[in-house]
């Protein structure tokens, strides 16, 4: 006996747990299938299509002949930092009467 349980009960429990995890793996495969083709994705963006901006950094990978080339590249492939926000320009004088006294941040709700 192991911990008050027989070896048969332990084998049955182990079998049930194994079957449960096999079921969960198969369920996840059906529910969330692997996409092997980029054209089948709902949305994608190639690294070459990213905007040229100081907040976007793309590590250009150059394959070398030496085995130490991978160890010499600790930088991430893609780094995107939050851009610095600047104040919007003043609206033209013709629109001043149509706008509220202060320009609201984008996080606030729109007012009519």
Looking at the domain assignment, is residue 88 inside a domain?
no
- Residues 43 and 46: their CA atoms lie apart, in Å, by 10
Number of domains in the chain: 1
Instruction: Domain of residue 58: give its range.
Output: 7-82
In a domain, 37, yes or no: yes
Q: How far apart are the first and last CA of the chain?
A: 76
What digits encode the pLDDT tens for the residues 1-45? 455 568 888 899 999 999 999 999 999 999 988 888 888 888 888
The 10s digit of each residue's pLDDT in 62-85 is 666 655 555 565 678 899 999 888
Residue at 42 is within a domain: yes
pTM confidence score: 0.39
């Amino acid at each position: 006996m192991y911990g008050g349980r027989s070896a048969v009960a332990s084998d049955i429990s182990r079998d049930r747990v194994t079957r449960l995890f096999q079921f969960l793996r198969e369920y996840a495969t059906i529910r969330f299938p692997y996409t092997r083709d980029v054209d089948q994705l709902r949305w994608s963006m190639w690294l070459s299509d990213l905007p040229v901006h100081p907040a976007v950094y793309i590590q250009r990978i150059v394959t070398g002949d030496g085995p130490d080339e991978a160890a010499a590249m600790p930088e991430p492939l893609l780094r995107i930092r939050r851009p610095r926000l600047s104040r919007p320009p003043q609206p033209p004088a013709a629109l001043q009467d149509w706008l509220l006294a202060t320009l609201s941040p984008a996080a606030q709700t729109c007012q009519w």
